Structure 1
Amino acid sequence: MGRGLGWSLGLLLPLTALAAQPVPPVQLYRYTDDRGVIVLDRQGVPPEFISKGYQILNAQGRVLQTVPPAPTAEEVQAATARRAQAEADAKLRVRYSGIEDLERARQRRLSEIDGLLAANQGDRQTLQAQQASLQGEAANQERNGQPVAQSVLDQLEAVRQRQADLDAQSLRYQRMRDDTNRTFDADRARLQQLLVP
């Protein structure tokens, strides 16, 4: 009889151990389907509705967790723009301690560009003098009844090409100057906003 009791206890112990383990709480998932109907489901939220957001409820209907809807493309773009602006603002405040500091930086940069423009103008004047000299030489050859030497024609063409290059360079420097002023104007306006208490 003792043997029968031990055998019975051996069967009961695993069953009582199973009964002693906590039962996971019942959870419900509340979401809105594609028809706008609110659905309660124990199985979870279908993948196509997850991006709309949902709630996890306990058996009594109390909200345990709210998962917000995924952001729209516009919201993502706006958040990206806000982050980029914040980074740009931080760099601006590190770069310039105030408006006066910014204006000193502007003047330094414009002075550098003005130096490039002045050097360009000096090169153009030098070329004009070379061109006048070569044209005078060509005119003398023609007055003497001689054809203009090919070397003079080649030099005149080289001067014209160099003048065209300098003209294009001058335009680039002027655009650079204008762009610099626009950039500093925008930085100044933003820095003024940031410095307002």
Structure 2
Amino acid sequence: MRKPALIRCSLVVGLLLPVVAGAAELYRYVDNQGVTVLSRQGVPPEFIAKGYEVLNEQGRVIQVVPPAPSAEERRRLLADKARAGTDAQLLRLYTSPEDVDRALARKLAELDALIDVVRGNLQSARTQQGNLQSQAAEHERAGRQVPEHLLAQIDNQIAEQQRLKKDIARYQDARKQAQASFAADRARLSELLGARP
């Protein structure tokens, strides 16, 4: 009479043995209804972003996979990473706020030199235009028609002056941007150096 009970017990143990022997890990996650689920198959893809835990065969947590950051958190993390990179570059470039001042002075001197060159070219274009207009006036006073090539040269000088004026405005804008950028770099560097132990 005891044999059938023993056989049944052996059968149950025999069926459970492969499960226990193959039991490596359990995955614990929360589904859409807020129910905590334990699974040997892993975490379904739709729940991975919520985070989950991996448990060993004794039910102890061996790994915690945190929830994926939200879009706002990702933006903040990217901004923080970019800021850290910018700060590191700033500390490589300058050792003191005075270094920033010297770099700004060099940049402004470079831009001022470019502006001076363009202003010289502008004055030269104005002079050439004046000479060409004098030649055109001589033709008109003599009762001759002004040659087309002379009119084209005058138009070219006027167009060149417009281009040179735009260049001057562009360099002046670059000068303002440099002042603002270097001022921001100086302030951030002072902040970083002040924060150092």
TM-score range, shorter chain: 0.7 to 0.9
Residue 109 of structure 1, CA deviation: 0.7
Which one scores higher on RCO, CA 8 angstroms, separation ≥ 6? 2
CA distance 1:63–1:167, shift in 2 (3 Å) = same
Paired residue for 1:34, among 29, 32, 35?
32
Paired residue for 2:91, among 81, 90, 93?
93
Correspondences of 1:74-153 after superposition (within 5 Å)? 74-153=72-151
Matched residue count: 177
Gaps of 5+ in 1: 1-18
SS in 2 for 1:196: helix
Equivalent in the alignment of 1:5: none
Matching residue's letter, 1:149: P
Q: Which has the larger radius of gyration?
A: 1
Matching residue's letter, 1:157: D
Gaps of 5+ in 2: 1-16
Residue 145 of structure 1, CA deviation: 2.1
Following the alignment from structure 1 to structure 2, what is the Cα–Cα distance between the partners of residues 168 and 154? 21
- Root-mean-square deviation (CA), in Å? 2.3
Equivalent in the alignment of 2:187: 189
TM-score (norm 2): 0.78
Following the alignment from structure 1 to structure 2, what is the Cα–Cα distance between the partners of residues 145 and 27? 104
Matching residue's letter, 2:181: T
Residue 146 of structure 1, CA deviation: 2.2
Matching residue's letter, 1:158: N
| Stretch of structure 1 that moved more, 24-33 or 100-109 | 24-33
CA distance 1:49–1:124, shift in 2 (3 Å) = same
TM-score (norm 1): 0.78
Following the alignment from structure 1 to structure 2, what is the Cα–Cα distance between the partners of residues 27 and 133? 91
Matching residue's letter, 2:171: Y
Residue 99 of structure 1, CA deviation: 0.8
